Chains A and B, each alone.
Chain A
């Protein structure tokens, strides 16, 4: 820090003011208000005229069957998506890790669904998953019929709907995690890989004993980010199934949205949002801890 930098410090407030004011008004203030409302009986139309109810909203949530279902669904979705997407992205990254310019198109292919907006993909996959009806069926069923699989009512079957949405979500997001893994792969020591090859390690052994340990931080990063993204699922079930059939795809975000705008119980909705934040905050804390251990 030099003298001239310190002298310029007087202009700092002007540089900071726009961003910090916006963050204060649109992030910090709503957060504080939500925290406050979660302990009151605030309703949608007149949140100002609310009375404190202590922890009642949180207790109600624990006994709210619909919210618990949404909570369970979101966990199940994360448990389906995170391992499959992480493993898939890892192997895709190994496969597309070809620095020759002639291979650059391959990376781009897997990144295409990341660029397309999620509502578009949700609508598209609803059509792809169309059940058989009057001699017509969606392309997914038509493709599976080639292998002798009978047509399924993907999004209308309570046991299939969530896995079907998970599959589509993995397809959409795998390219993004692949890019992160690809960046991580560039940090794996080439000397170590060559040494392992000379010692007679096969491709699998090199991946397992050299690449994976070297990419520990990248893997932790991808797993936590994918988990947080999976918990934030909303658009796909909202457009594809409206949370049905029989609440089998109801997401946490949709349940918060409905508590606010349909049952107009703002206090409980804010309590749910706070619980959600704690969950995401906990995951982030876990990530930081794991990454720190590595650095020490």
Chain B
């Protein structure tokens, strides 16, 4: 869509389109009007986040005061204080570790199961898959309490290693991801695999060298969704990561937010630092995701 976007439009909406195309996509009074309205709406819509960024650079006493236009009252001190008070170095590392283990490990585990459901013939396949699909609707928040006991019984709470395992292992396998990846494996032409079979490839090589590379956009979608979801995890870490050294970024932020002395500047700086990594990641990873995948859940 990126490359032939304009062409796509011309064939679909012939009226007025040619005129707009001649002077670029936005030529014509209607284009400028829509542009101005959109800019205004966009600024208002993003103003809470813009305020967060600007206020995080303000001295504590001047955050809620007007008169921001002057050169006075700007500072980076909030970031230094937040970094120290919330132990953000450790917290960011914990969160990064958490989402990388879930994103990477989960991808492998779920893709393997999805491949078996899509491509391997075995008895009971249909009902087993139906059982997995039924698990999709279970909201993690509701299961959190009974899950907590299972995780505790397995010894995955307490020390650093145990708590990090407790944060990640329960979320590796995801019914939705298995379902989603299976739909995509089904679209890989069987001829591709047959050619590899002729070359003597076994099931694992077919999976790893043929099937997986064919569904890269779907894999990227799953990774992005997992990372966004778990970077923002709150309830589960609240129950599992109870020690200071196991805190994730969101817990550190909540801690800064509730423990006196309440310093708005520090809180805002911490919020910005908790947001930047996902923003940068999303910006960079977005191109691998197919936009139409949003529809996969509809049908």
User: Which residues of A are at the interface with B, using a C-beta cutoff of 8 A?
Assistant: 1-2, 4-6, 8-9, 11-13, 15-16, 18-20, 22-23, 25-31, 33-34, 37, 47, 95, 99-103, 106, 109-110, 112-121, 123-128, 130, 136-139, 142, 171, 179-180, 182-184, 186, 190, 217-218, 221, 225, 228, 231-232, 234-235, 238-239, 253, 256-257, 260-261, 266, 269-270, 273, 276-277, 280-281, 284
Contact = CB atoms under 8 A, between A and B. Distances in A.
Given A8-B206, A273-B146, 19 more contacts: A12-B125, A15-B113, A18-B109, A18-B172, A19-B113, A19-B178, A20-B113, A27-B175, A101-B6, A103-B25, A103-B38, A115-B282, A117-B232, A117-B250, A120-B275, A128-B48, A180-B294, A221-B298, A235-B235
Q: Determine the main DSSP class of A at the interface with B.
A: helix
A165 B149 CA distance: 31
Given A15-B113, A23-B173, A99-B8, A179 B142 contact: no
B150 A19 contact: no
B177 to A, nearest CB: 9
A-B CB proximity, top 10 nearest:
A117-B232, A19-B113, A22-B173, A30-B146, A15-B116, A34-B146, A136-B64, A100-B25, A26-B170, A12-B122
Contact of B25 (A22, A31, A102, A186): A102
Interface in B87-142: 108-110, 112-113, 115-117, 119-122, 125, 128, 132, 135, 137-139, 141-142
A193 B295 CA distance: 21
Interface residues of B, number: 97
A260 B291 contact: no
Contact of A273 (B26, B142, B151, B279): B142
Interface of B: 1-2, 5-6, 8-9, 12-13, 24-26, 38, 42, 45-49, 51-52, 55, 64-66, 108-110, 112-113, 115-117, 119-122, 125, 128, 132, 135, 137-139, 141-151, 154, 169-173, 175, 178, 190, 194, 197, 202-204, 206-207, 228, 231-232, 234-235, 239, 249-250, 253-254, 257, 264, 267-268, 271, 274-275, 278-279, 282, 291-292, 294-295, 297-299
Contacts of B55: 127
Contacts of B298: 180, 183-184, 217-218, 221
B64 A130 contact: yes
Contact of A115 (B25, B151, B279, B294): B279
8 contacts: A11-B202, A30-B149, A99-B9, A102-B24, A119-B232, A139-B48, A273-B143, A277-B139
